[in-house]
Amino acid sequence: LRQNVVDRSDKIDVWFSSPARHLIQDPATKTVIGVQIERDHVLRNIKANNGVVMATGGFENNPEMLEDYLGASKLVPLGTLYNKGDGIKMATEVGASLWHMNNYESLGMLHGLAFTVPTGKRGKLILGDWKAIYDGSVFLAGDDGTRYYPEDMTNRHGHVYSHGYWKVPQNNHHPHIIFDKKQYEKFADKETSIYPQAQDMIIEANTLEELAKKIGAVPEKLQEQVAEFNFFATEGKDYAFHRNPETMQAFDAEGTYYEL
């Protein structure tokens, strides 16, 4: 596309720093006939000769739309920081209907996760077979400290298999990777770690109760979850999420516990 524009530069003007603000409609037919843009702090109406193409992008940098459509307080953007739903709003102004607004594409660890970053920063896309996050005495927990996903399942652009369908799992405000001392050694192994910087993000505690309080989980639920996970590992069957039992190892009864 870029090359075609360059090849026709004598006929096509490219304006940067000229965001679209509104679509312009024919008042009688409601046909979109142009777009209003802001250039050099001045609103300009641009007539379209053969139609207007909407390339809306997403809304991952718009907290209000995240809450309204995805039930998420925050998502880590992996691409542009400027997807704020402006194109979607312009389309609805002229009568467009919204469809599947609770669906989105994601890539990354487990079911499509990325490590948290400060607001206004891009996240790091983590790809590859990082066994430390799903093989051993480790599980993924939601906000309260309980599991909600089979950690060894491969996602399809953030969608996971559920009763015959591939769906985006329920959002948690702050998912937690929970593990023990022997699993910590796997995270610390620089030869197998896909993201060594994760070492600086790990939280540790002497007990599960202490760890839960540090990460904002419910102590009783985290303790019960570890006990249940250990039972499944010992039984050789994950009765809750059907994770491959060969990837499950019971947590240490005592010692240091960790969260990432």
What is the tens place of the pLDDT at every residue in 14-33?
A: 999 999 999 999 999 999 99
pTM of the predicted model, to two decimals? 0.87
Are residues 161 and 71 located together in one domain of the fold?
no
C-alpha–C-alpha distance, residues 191 and 78, integer Å? 25
Q: Which one, of 185, 163, 165, 63, lies nearest residue 120 by Cα?
A: 63
C-alpha–C-alpha distance, residues 157 and 168, integer Å? 9
Which one of 43, 65, 93 terminates a domain?
A: 93
114 inside domain: no
Residue 82, both tokens:
């400027």
pLDDT more than 90, % of the chain? 73
Are residues 140 and 246 located together in one domain of the fold?
yes
At 227, which CATH number? 3.90.700.10
pLDDT of 74 > 90? The answer is no
Are residues 73 and 177 located together in one domain of the fold?
no
Binned at pLDDT 50, 70 and 90, residue 104 comes out as confident
Are residues 226 and 136 located together in one domain of the fold?
yes
Are residues 169 and 253 located together in one domain of the fold?
yes
Using alpha carbons, list the distances in angstroms from residue 164 to 70, 160, 171: 22, 10, 20
31 inside domain: yes
Are residues 82 and 184 located together in one domain of the fold?
no
Are residues 84 and 165 located together in one domain of the fold?
no
107 inside domain: no
Tell me, what's the pLDDT at 223? 98
Tell me, what's the pLDDT at 214? 98
Mean pLDDT of 65-89: 91
C-alpha–C-alpha distance, residues 146 and 140, integer Å? 8
Are residues 254 and 138 located together in one domain of the fold?
yes
Residue 25, both tokens:
């409609």
106 inside domain: no
Mean pLDDT of 125-154: 94
Are residues 160 and 253 located together in one domain of the fold?
yes
Are residues 59 and 138 located together in one domain of the fold?
no
Which one of 64, 93, 122 terminates a domain?
A: 93
Tell me, what's the pLDDT at 103? 83
Residue-range definition of the domain harbouring residue 154: 131-259
C-alpha–C-alpha distance, residues 129 and 100, integer Å? 31
Query: What's the structural domain count of the chain?
Result: 2
CA torsion through residues 41, 47, 48, 53, sign: positive
Are residues 187 and 75 located together in one domain of the fold?
no
Are residues 83 and 178 located together in one domain of the fold?
no
103 inside domain: no
Residue 232, both tokens:
């499944």
In one-letter notation, the amino acid at residue 215 is: I
98 inside domain: no
115 inside domain: no
